């Protein structure tokens, strides 16, 4: 018996949701580390802790936009 035609998309969407949640959790942990450094007055530590945060946030944003199109939503207009 073969899988229904919608099943591969369902698996892709589930994988994307899981991956996006993991990346968002990573960004949250990084932001908490940045905030801890800032509260301690350690701006250089905060700068070091923030490395890679922009890439993670961008990744999450792109995945969420792709999920919106896969699930029937309209494309989101880019804003800076």
Q: Is residue 19 part of a domain?
A: yes
Alpha-carbon distance 30 to 49, whole Å? 7
Q: Is 12 within a domain?
A: yes
Which structural domain range is residue 56 located in?
Answer: 7-70
Give a yes or no: residue 22 inside a domain: yes
pLDDT of 80 over the 80 cut: no
Stated pTM of the model: 0.74
Q: Is residue 79 part of a domain?
A: no
Q: Which residue has the higher pLDDT, 70 or 6?
A: 70
- Is 47 part of any domain? yes
For the chain, how many structural domains are there in total?
1
Tell me whether residue 77 is in a domain. no
Is the confidence at residue 70, as pLDDT, over 70?
yes
Q: Can you list the alpha helix ranges (DSSP code H) found in the chain?
A: 7-39, 43-49, 53-70
pLDDT greater than 80 at residue 42: yes
């Amino acid at each position: 018996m073969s899988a229904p035609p919608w099943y591969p998309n369902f698996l892709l969407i589930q994988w994307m949701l899981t991956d996006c949640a993991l990346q968002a959790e990573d960004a949250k942990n990084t932001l908490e580390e940045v905030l801890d450094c800032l509260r301690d007055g350690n701006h250089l530590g905060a700068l070091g802790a923030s490395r890679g945060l922009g890439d993670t946030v961008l990744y999450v944003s792109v995945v969420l936009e792709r999920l919106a199109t896969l699930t029937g939503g309209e494309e989101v207009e880019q804003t800076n």
